[in-house]
Copies of this chain bind each other. A is one copy, B any other.
Amino acid sequence: MSVLTVEIRSGAYYDSVILMQLQRSLMDFPGVLDAGVVMGTKANKDVLEQSNLLAPETEAAEPDDLIIVVRGKDNTSADEAIGKVDELLSARRSAGIDQEYYPKSLETAIKMLPEAQWVLISVPGRYASNLAQYSLDSGKHVFLYSDNVTIENEISLKKLAAEKCLLVMGPDCGTAIINGVGLGFANKVRHGPIGIVAASGTGLQQVSSRIHQFGSGITHALGTGGRDLSEQVNAITARQGLDLLSRDPETKVICLISKPPSPQVANELIDLARKLGKPVVVNFIGFSTSSRKVDNVYFTASFDETAQLALDLAASGLDESGLSIHNLDRFTASQKYLRGLFSGGTLAYEALLILQDYIPNVYSNTPINKEFQLLDSMVSKEHTIIDLGEDEFTVGRLHPMMDNDLRIRRLLKEASDPEVAVILLDVVLGYGAHPNPASELAPAIAEAKSSARDKSRYVEIVAIVSGTDEDPQGIQDQIKVLEDAGAIVELSSETAVRQVGRLINSLILEPISSGSDYIQKIDIDILRQPLTAINIGLESFMESLLAQEAEAIHVDWRPPAGGDERLMSILAKMRKES
């Protein structure tokens, strides 16, 4: 047999650390079998029920009520424990903080430590927004650990912050590391070349820990809060963070981590990442991508892969071999289109796929999206990729890998089009293929280039050569003949197509738009200066700051009117009227 004793305390605020400590202290009493100390929310009452601590009195408790339940082996034990509650609540908790004077308000704390750049807020959500706004108004960056903050408040706080060139990490931001100091939950991670922006707390922790375990380290890790990449919030903090890390010379590689964002936000962030001039490893966990890499942006699928790839990129740097992008004035203003003439169907398909990262609309006789089906395969339209090995071209005719006639005619025709800037070909070697394709294609390439030159145009011709050094055609000879005719030769089909994509992007003068250009730049000093902070909320976060030797001050915060909602609204009304 055992008995349950219950006490309900109405409408008072208690720090959750205190509640945890109270519950533990109660359980330590002799004769106490179990205890529960929770606010009277539905979920918490469910928890009590699961632990067999639910009594009829607790049913009526409101979310703002504190429920104290003790299961004792008899009435005496239970009552004795409950009788000590006031004493336990008033006892000072762990004195991990050596601070002479505890300011009672954020206002006072800011006056005491005016050089603090950061305010860490971990009070209950309903009190957090006002404190965050006050911090921003005082010119402080905000680390907002609190959850249960509305998305409307998040948006207005972040808009205010963006105007003031300040960061709001959060709400519900669990972790960050600024200049070596962890905020909230954070691992001690070696200093190194990798920067992180994360809308995911444990994602940031796990990736930064793995980076450390693999032997590297991080510059800074910026949290954004889990909703930052939603369509409503529109990644305000993530954009600020990416911009900051792009300007930090110590950050060589940037990781961007989030649960899958809205497709629009994802695309905008990827476009922004492509402009940062550093490798960016994107892990939108569970976000499907069909390519692994677009220019400097790499997509990963797991935390381990993210950490490992960031290390590899930090070691190797960006490998972006360029293709005549620096010599755009050779083309006339009208030249802007790509024409791809493929003999290999899958090479054509891969090209169409990769080009999606660069040019939205590419017509084809075998398009990925039927919207871009050419009405007439014989006539190119704007950007076009033709698979000359399709059935329509091969009735009573040899495959284009064996017979170059059709391709040569088409090549010359495309080159004579004043809007064509680049022609992309594949040259497939090996048994069964034409014994010497370069001998036929090279003269046509030379002719195409020279006739363009006669009209003061420049046509770039890029050839993907597929084959081995043991193929009967002699791959080195084939490459040399094609290059001598003026073609750029690539062995990697992906490299060739990406180079062409970048060249066309440069020509059509439609630089990737990021949608983030409205973001004003935050002073990079925030990543340079030793971190100084004001902590308001959980004492354990203050203890962590001190353990990391950061300068900080803790606010002995209590909710207005002791957390009494009715009284609070009266006070607010009085303030408004005064």
Contact = CB atoms under 8 A, between A and B. Distances in A.
Interface of A: 14, 16-17, 19-20, 23, 38-39, 41, 43-44, 46-47, 49-51, 63, 66, 124, 147-148, 174-175, 182, 184-190, 200-203, 205-206, 209-210, 212-213, 226, 257, 259, 285-292, 300-305, 343-347, 349-350, 353-354, 368, 376-379, 391-399, 401-403, 405-406, 409-410, 413, 426, 428-433, 466-472, 491-495, 538, 540-541, 544, 547-548
B548 A431 contact: yes
B491 A213 contact: yes
A376 B17 CA distance: 26
A494 B207 CA distance: 12
Contact of A431 (B20, B257, B547): B547
A43 B174 CA distance: 63
B209 A431 contact: no
Contacts of A202: 343-347, 426, 428, 466
Contacts of A429: 187
Contacts of A285: 346, 349-350, 353
A492 to B, nearest CB: 5
Contacts of A346: 200-203, 206, 257, 259, 285
Contacts of A16: 396-398, 403
A433 B186 CA distance: 8
16 contacts: A14-B396, A19-B398, A20-B397, A38-B396, A46-B376, A47-B409, A50-B379, A174-B399, A182-B432, A188-B431, A200-B346, A202-B347, A205-B466, A209-B491, A213-B469, A285-B350
Nearest to A203: B346
A185 B305 contact: no
A483 B376 CA distance: 68
A431 B185 contact: yes
Given A185-B431, A432-B186, A432-B540, A349 B259 contact: yes
B290 A287 contact: yes
A379 B353 CA distance: 46
- What 4 pairs between A and B have smallest CB-CB spacing? A202-B344, A39-B396, A288-B288, A431-B544
B292 A290 contact: no
B377 A43 contact: yes
A404 B33 CA distance: 18
A394 to B, nearest CB: 6
A283 to B, nearest CB: 10
Contacts of A188: 430-431, 468, 470-472
B409 A209 contact: no
Instruction: Indicate the member of A200, A344, A345, A431 with the most B CB atoms within 10 Å.
Output: A431
A39 B395 contact: yes
A550 to B, nearest CB: 10
B547 A494 contact: no
A379 B212 CA distance: 37
Contact of A205 (B50, B66, B301, B430): B430
Contacts of A19: 396-398
Given A66-B396, A188-B431, A286-B290, 12 more contacts: A19-B397, A38-B397, A41-B395, A124-B396, A174-B401, A175-B430, A184-B432, A185-B430, A187-B470, A206-B346, A289-B301, A304-B495
Contacts of A301: 289-292
Contacts of A344: 201-202, 205-206
B187 A431 contact: yes
Contacts of A397: 16, 19-20, 38-39, 44
Contact of A471 (B187, B226, B287, B409): B187
A209 B259 contact: no
Nearest to A353: B286
Instruction: Indicate the member of A187, A200, A344, A398 with the most B CB atoms within 10 Å.
Output: A187
A440 B107 CA distance: 39
B50 A409 contact: yes
A117 to B, nearest CB: 18
A541 to B, nearest CB: 6
A469 B345 CA distance: 52
Contacts of A186: 430-432
Contacts of A148: 391, 394-395
Given A292-B305, A346-B202, A368 B286 contact: yes
A205 B428 contact: yes
